[in-house]
Amino acid sequence: NFNRLLGVVLQPIELVSDALRDGTLVRLLPQYPVPNTAMHILYAPDRRMTPKLRSFLEFAREAFGQQGPL
């Protein structure tokens, strides 16, 4: 039966945890950890730091860790 799509995807666990839990997706090669990669958040330096931008940057630091300047 070919009613389902088949393929391989590399996604953050936070995005696919529900699908893994309900069996829509299955984890392949769990013995091989995915390497961490850097995240960069870019914004125009000539603009002032708005409360919304500062709030997002603080959220990103808490959620993903801090390795650089704010």
pLDDT (tens digit per residue) in 12-59? 888 999 999 998 899 988 898 877 777 788 888 777 888 998 899 889
Give residue 9's pLDDT. Answer: 85
**How many structural domains does the chain have?**
1
On the question of pLDDT at 70 being above 90, the answer is no
70 in Cβ contact with 57 (< 8 Å): yes
- Long-range CB pairs of 60-66 (<8 Å, 24+ gap) are 64/39
Give residue 4's pLDDT. Answer: 67
Determine, yes or no, domain membership for 6: no
Q: What range defines the domain where residue 58 resides?
A: 13-64
Query: What is the model's pTM?
Result: 0.47
Q: What is the mean pLDDT of residues 6-14?
A: 84
Determine, yes or no, domain membership for 23: yes
Determine, yes or no, domain membership for 8: no
Tell whether the torsion through CA atoms of 20, 26, 31 and 34 is positive or negative.
Answer: negative
Determine, yes or no, domain membership for 3: no
3 in Cβ contact with 9 (< 8 Å): no
Determine, yes or no, domain membership for 30: yes
